[in-house]
Amino acid sequence: MKNRLLFILKYTIYWMIVFAILRFLFMAYQFGQTQHISLSDFMNIVIRGAWMDLSFTGYIILLSSVLMALLAFAHSKWLMGYFRYQTIVLLTLIITVSVSDFELYRNWGFRIDATPLLYLKTPKEALASMETYLIAILAVGIILIVVAFYQLYRKWVASTLKSSKKGKWWYTPVFIAIAGTMILPIRGGIGIAPMNSGKVYFSPNVYCNHAALNAQWNMLYSISKSGTMNKRNPDTIAKEKAYEIFDTLMRNTPDTSRVLNTTRPNIVLIMLESFSSNLIETLGGKAGVTPNFNALSEQGLLFTRMIASGDRSDKGMIAILAGFPAQPTQSVIKYPSKSMKLSTISGELVNTGYNATFYYGGDPDFANIRSFLYSAKFSRIITQDEFPRKYRNSKWGVHDEYVFNYLLNDIDTAKGPFFKMFFTLSNHEPFEIPAKPKFPGTTEVDQYLSSAYYTDSCLGDFITRARKRNWYKNTLFILISDHGHRHLGSNTIHSTNRFSIPMLWLGGALSCKPQRIDKICSQTDLSATLLNQLNMSSNGFKLAKNILNASTQPFAYYAFNNGYGFVSATDTIIYDHVSHKYIKQNGAEAKQTSEKASAYFYIYQDEFLGL
C-alpha cells in the first residue's frame, strides 16, 4: 500500500511539474509580450496557473486512482506496464496541444480551444499558414519534450512501483476514496462556482490572464461547450431597455442621397486578405506598402474609419455578405443550419436578376465557406481547381495575379447585371509570393509587407486594365478587407487598432466626386449601405446601418475571443465575457456608450439564437 500511495503522490507532483514547465515554455515562446510584464504579474501567473494545473491534474489522478482500485490485486509489473502506456499517451496528447498552442497563440492571440478542431476536415489549409520548416521544428519539439518528460517519469515516478506487492481487497475502497477527493482540485475548491477561466484572470493585461490558463483545460472546456451553439452570454442590460436603446441607436430619417449613377450597376466586390489600415498610407498607415490603393483612394469614396467585425476570414465574409456581426468564440459559417438562414447581398441581388459568381484561388471547403456561398445564391464558385497545377504554387492555392486575370477575362464575357466577388489569398501567412520581395528583410513583418505590396500591385494592374473595358462605365468596385492583422498595429487581441480596415468604392458607376467618409462604421454596414443605394430593401439586415445616411449614428461593434468592442465617435468600450468586466471604458460619454454596447450585444444575441 505504501508504495502505491507514494506513486499517486509522486504522480500528482509530476504532472504539476509538467504543466509548470509547459507554462514557462509558453511564456518563453511569447517572449515579445512576456518581457513587458512585472514581477508581480509573473508571480500571479505562476500561482494562479498552478491552481488551474491542479484542476486538470485532478482528472488524471482521479482516473489513475480508479484504475489503481481496479488493479488492486495486480502484480507490480502489470501496474508499471499500464501506467507506462497511460503516461506516454497522456504526454503525447498534452505536449502536442501545448506546442500547437505556442504557435497558434502567436497568430490568434487567444489560448487553444475547440477552434482548431473545426479545421480538421481541411488539414492542408489548416497548416498552410505555417512554413514547412516551422511545422518540422514544432514536430521535433513535441518529440523531444515527450521523451524528456517520460524519462523523468521513468526514473522518478515509475520506480516507486518496482517493489510493490500484490494488493489486498481493502486497497480498492482506499483508492476509490482518493479518487473521490479529486472533486476538490477539479472544482478548484469548495466554492459555489466550479473552476473556470475567469478564476485565474487577475489583470487588465489580457496576455497575463491568458498565460495563467492551462491550455489542456481550456481546450477540453471549450470542446465541452462547443456543442452548445445556442449558449447565451450573461446579459448586462434588461430586455426592455435593450430594445429601447437599440431602436434609438439604429433609427434614422429617410435619405434619398445617391452616390451612384444607376440603380443596376455591375458590382465587383474584392475582399482583400489581411489588409489592415496600418498598411495603407492614406489611412495613416506605413508608407510605400500599397501605392496603388493609395492612388485609387483619391479617385473614389474612401471610408476611413471602417472596423472589421471579427478577426478571421470566415467571420469577415459573413459580416460583409450577410451584414451579421462576428461571434466572440464561434463562427456562424461553421454551422450551415444557421448561416443558411441569413440574408445576403448576393441573395438579394440574385432575386432581382443579377448573376453571382465567387472567385477564390484556394479551397472553399475550408471553414465551410462553400456551403455558405451556395446558400448565398452564388451560381458559380471558381476555385483552385479551375487553374492548371503549375499555377497552384502557394500553400493556399493560386496566387492573386492569376485569379485577377481569370476574373477580368470572365467579366469580359459576362452578361449583366453581374455580381462578382473575389477573395484574395496571397497576403496570408506564410506570406509567400511569386515575385521579388519589396521589403527584403527576413522577419515576418517584412514578409507581410512584401505580400501586401504584391497583392496591391495585382489590384492596381487589374483596375488599370478594367478601365479600358466598355463594362467599366457601369461597374461599381468595392474594395474591403476581411479583417485586420496583428502586425504593425497593437498586438493586443482586443485593440480597436487591430480591427481597423479600409473600404473603398470606385468605378464608372460612381456619380459623386472623390471624397473621404470619416464616419465610424462596420463591415456589417456594407449590406445596408449598398442595398439602399440600389433602391432595395435592407430590412433583412437588422444589425446593419446605412453609412451614407447623414442621420445614421456612427458606431461599430467587433468581436474578439472572448469579448467585444464597441466604438462610437467619442468613446471606446471593450468588454470581456470571461471576467464579466470592462477592459476599457474611454470617452466623454463612456457610461451611456456602455449601455448602447450592451443593448446592441443583447439584440445581436437574440438574432443569433433565433437563427
Tell me the pLDDT tens digit for each residue of 396-416.
899 999 999 999 999 999 988
Domain with 100, as residue range(s), is 2-226
Residues 350 and 427 in one domain: yes
Residues 317 and 212 in one domain: no
Determine which of 23-32, 179-188, 370-379 has the lowest per-residue pLDDT on average: 370-379
What's the CA gap between 28 and 109, in Å, rounded? 15
Would you place residue 2 in the very low, low, confident or very high pLDDT band (cuts 50, 70, 90)? confident
What's the CA gap between 321 and 526, in Å, rounded? 8
Check which CATH number belongs to the domain holding 471 and give it. Answer: 3.40.720.10
pLDDT of the residue at 495: 92
What value does the mean pLDDT take over residues 363-369? Answer: 79
Q: Does the pLDDT of residue 165 top 70, yes or no?
A: no
413 part of a folded domain: yes
Residues 165 and 269 in one domain: no
Q: What is the pLDDT of residues 23-60, one digit of tens each?
A: 999 999 999 999 999 999 999 999 999 999 999 999 99
Please state whether beta strands 572-576 and 563-568 pair in parallel, antiparallel, or not at all (unpaired): antiparallel
What value does the mean pLDDT take over residues 195-211? Answer: 82
Residues 493 and 539 in one domain: yes
428 part of a folded domain: yes
547 part of a folded domain: yes
What's the CA gap between 334 and 114, in Å, rounded? 12
Residues 96 and 187 in one domain: yes
Q: What is the pLDDT of residues 81-105, one digit of tens each?
A: 899 999 999 999 999 999 999 998 9
Residues 17 and 121 in one domain: yes
Who contacts 89 (Cβ-Cβ below 8 Å, separation ≥6)? none
Residues 295 and 213 in one domain: no
What's the CA gap between 499 and 479, in Å, rounded? 16
17 part of a folded domain: yes
Q: Who wins on pLDDT, 167 or 461?
A: 461
Q: Check the CA dihedral 297-302-307-311 and report its sign.
A: negative
110 part of a folded domain: yes
C-alpha cell at 155: 526514473
| DSSP-assigned beta bridge partners for residue 581 | 576
Question: Residue 224's CB: how many other CB atoms inside 10 A?
Answer: 10
Residues 328 and 220 in one domain: no
From 255, 276, 292, select the one nearest 477 (Cα to Cα): 292
84 part of a folded domain: yes
Q: Are 19 and 57 in contact (CB under 8 A)?
A: yes
Residues 426 and 505 in one domain: yes
Number of domains in the chain: 2
Q: Are 563 and 492 in contact (CB under 8 A)?
A: no
Residues 47 and 194 in one domain: yes
To the nearest whole number, what is the mean pLDDT of the chain?
A: 91
Residues 203 and 273 in one domain: no
Q: Any idea which residue has 472533486 for its cell?
A: 183
C-alpha cell at 307: 472596423
Q: Are 541 and 292 in contact (CB under 8 A)?
A: no
For helices 2-29 and 76-108, the axis angle rounded to 10 degrees is: 20
Q: State phi, psi for 556 to the nearest 5 degrees.
A: -145, 135
107 part of a folded domain: yes
Residues 178 and 302 in one domain: no
What's the predicted TM-score (pTM) here?
A: 0.82
232 part of a folded domain: no
